[in-house]
A and B are shown apart, each in its own frame.
Chain A
Amino acid sequence: MGANSHRESFPWKHIIGFLLSLVLTFAALWVALSSGLPLKAVIVIIVVFAVIQASLQLFMFMHVNESDSGRIQTFNMAYSFFIAIVVVAGSIWVMQFVL
């Protein structure tokens, strides 16, 4: 069982996850407000940064893939994100013909 495999004396995983999250937060802020990139590029980059940061939380902090049911948990979360993408992107796509 994976839950037992990280008995470390120092929380390296958490510190690395935290530092990377900070870097991604400030990088997204810079890309959005100061980079001067075209709007579409900005949107793609900040959404990719958000997905990476959410994955950091899930794997580095929440240990979604630990324990005997780690695979079920990981699949459950992946499927919920799939539903989220379908709902959000689908709504935007449908409503652009209305508004």
Chain B
Amino acid sequence: MGEAAHRYDETLPLEYRTQESRLNILGFWIFLGAEVALFATLFATYLVLFQRTGSGPTAGELFEVQDVLIETLLLLTSSFTCGLAIFEMRRGRISGLIAWLLVTLLLGAGFITFEIREFIHYVHEGATMQTSAFLSSFFVLVGTHGAHVSVGIGWMILIIIQLLQRGFTPKTARKVFIVSLYWHFLDVVWIFIFTLVYLLGMVI
């Protein structure tokens, strides 16, 4: 550390070259830690309440394997293509980077489309936020994740516009890298929604 940490370092990937960028990336990891705590409270609420179904449907009656699997595969693949985008960025290929970011966006939009369809389907079956404690906590947990994905889509579009306008700079590279961390994190949360909400709901 010391003097060396403040210097512009040519040997590092573009997104890590300035001191400001390194601190931005570290700061974003701290933010993700706070996000873990946020989702932990929503998971705790859901897991305490999910068998309180009142007069409404149970998780086992509501969830359908096929829909859940499609959503899971869309988001998992989008996390993979987002990783490929960063791989291309580190090889200095801006066209590869933008192409994989666009694929990631399409898969993310597909995920959101299926999730909205799933929610509409539930509401048509009479399973709304007001039906039971199970459904209130379900919609809040899964909906908060869906809102995060929607924010991620908007954010990534803005970053692509900046890339097209400004090309590779230490600043745009850092912004791309941070939005990629955010996107991967959305899949980390989804893994636990898939496991603790959907799989558990279909087993119990």
B87 to chain A, nearest CB (A): 4
Query: In the assembly, what is the distance between CA of A32 and CA of B200, in Å?
Result: 8
- Chain A residues touching B, range: 35 or more
**Which residue of B37, B191, B204 is within 8 Å of A50 (Cβ)?**
B191
Indicate whether A84 sits within 8 Å of B80 (C-beta atoms), given known contacts A32-B202, A39-B203, A53-B191.
no
Does chain A have a CB within 8 A of B99? no
Query: What is the number of residues of chain B that contact chain A, defined by CB distance less than 8 Å?
Result: 56
Q: Which residues of the partner chain A approach B69 to less than 8 Å between Cβ atoms? A: 29
Q: Which residues of the partner chain B approach A81 to less than 8 Å between Cβ atoms? A: 36
Q: Which residues of the partner chain B approach A84 to less than 8 Å between Cβ atoms? A: 36-37, 39-40, 43
Q: Which residues of the partner chain A approach B76 to less than 8 Å between Cβ atoms? A: 18, 21-22, 25
Query: In the assembly, what is the distance between CA of A62 and CA of B52, in Å?
Result: 37
Indicate whether A3 sits within 8 Å of B184 (C-beta atoms), given known contacts A32-B202, A76-B29, A87-B44.
no
Main secondary structure of the interface of B (DSSP, over half): helix
CB of B40 within 8 A of CB of A88, answer: yes
B7 to chain A, nearest CB (A): 12
CB of A14 within 8 A of CB of B36, answer: no
CB of B48 within 8 A of CB of A99, answer: yes
- Per-position binary interface string of chain A over residues 61-82, scored 1 when its CB falls under 8 Å from any chain B CB and 0 otherwise: 1101001110011001101110
- Per-position binary interface string of chain B over residues 82-99, scored 1 when its CB falls under 8 Å from any chain A CB and 0 otherwise: 111001001100000000
Indicate whether A68 sits within 8 Å of B65 (C-beta atoms), given known contacts A57-B191, A80-B32.
no
Given contacts A4-B12, A28-B194, 19 further A-B contacts (CB under 8 A): A4-B11, A14-B87, A39-B203, A46-B195, A47-B196, A50-B192, A57-B184, A61-B82, A67-B22, A68-B22, A80-B33, A80-B36, A81-B36, A84-B43, A87-B41, A87-B44, A88-B47, A92-B47, A99-B52
